[in-house]
Amino acid sequence: MPKLDYFLVADSVSTDRERNTVSLFHILEEWPARLPLTVPELVAVSSWTVSADEMGQDFQVSLNIRMPGAQGSPDFPVFPVNFTAHRRRHRAYHFVKGLRVEHPGDLVFEILINGQVAASHVVWVRTSDESE
């Protein structure tokens, strides 16, 4: 299975095509807000390293989003990104629009490869008047 190098959730992303570098803007860690909150847009970016014996194989990278206080299955399904390993490193971008958060607490983003959770990224959603 490809190895996860990094997984972050941010407001936006830019990729320099000449140098093949990525810039993430406003990495989300905490969100003070008046609830309910509708997040207009965000992006989850993951980077994967593929081994030599995985070249030519197909992989599916999925994103699950769990709302604060939720139990069980993901609350906000995001379409998977598929790639065929033709080079050593691959990136997956998941763009999310209109995410509605009703309650304070941990907003959990999980990145999966071929159905297996590889990592999670937690954003603490708090009311604007709640202290750190």
Q: What pLDDT was estimated at residue 76?
A: 66
Instruction: Please state the pTM of the whole predicted model.
Output: 0.88
Based on its alpha-carbon atoms, the radius of gyration of the chain, rounded to whole angstroms, reads 16
What are the tens digits of pLDDT across the range 72-126? 666 666 779 999 999 999 999 999 998 889 899 999 999 999 999 999 999 999 9
Rounded average pLDDT over 11-25: 93
Q: Could you tell me the CA-to-CA distances from 76 to 18, 41, 47, 50, 110 in Å, in that order? A: 34, 14, 22, 28, 11
What the chain holds in terms of domains, given with CATH numbers, is: 3-127 (2.60.40.2560)
- Which pLDDT score is estimated for 18? 93
Residue 44 bridge partners (DSSP): 9, 94
